[in-house]
Amino acid sequence: MAKTRDVAVFSTFCQSHARDVAFHAATGLLRAVFGIGVVDLDTARGRVRDLLPDAEPEDLHLLDDLLGISATDSGPSNIDADARRRRLMRLVKSVALARVAPTVYVIEDAH
């Protein structure tokens, strides 16, 4: 119904075997929002940067890691887990707030 009214709909689902993986459901939803489900890594990183042109490079590195699109030559980021969570949440919030059109986010089997 929402799509017939020009409302963007992004969805993901939870998997029971991944319930202990931090941000697993959020990662699926973000991959849908960025439109990087079946594209190569360079294209995926480009789409993320197009939607977040003002993001800090370190924050983009964290997001790339979360989304599974990090460049193969980029090493792991040495950042406290709580700081990582805060920075990622700030980025996710900025993406959500940047949308001016009505949007529906669906997470199936969230429990």
Per-residue pLDDT band at 60 (split at 50, 70, 90): very high
Could you read off the pLDDT of 61-105 as tens digits, one per residue?
999 988 889 886 666 567 888 898 899 888 888 887 877 888 887
Q: What is the 3-state secondary structure (H, E, C) of the chain?
A: CCHHHCCEEEEEECCHHHCCCCCHHHHHHHHHHHCCCCCCHHHHHHHHHHHCCCCCHHHHHHHHHHHCCCCCCCCCCCCCHHHHHHHHHHHHHHHHHHCCCCEEEEEECCC
Give the other-Cβ count within 10 Å of 62's Cβ: 21
Q: How far apart, in whole angstroms, are the C-alpha atoms of residue 25 and residue 11?
A: 10
Is the CB of residue 7 less than 8 Å from the CB of residue 102?
yes
Q: Does pLDDT of 2 surpass 70?
A: yes
Q: How far apart, in whole angstroms, are the C-alpha atoms of residue 23 and residue 111?
A: 14
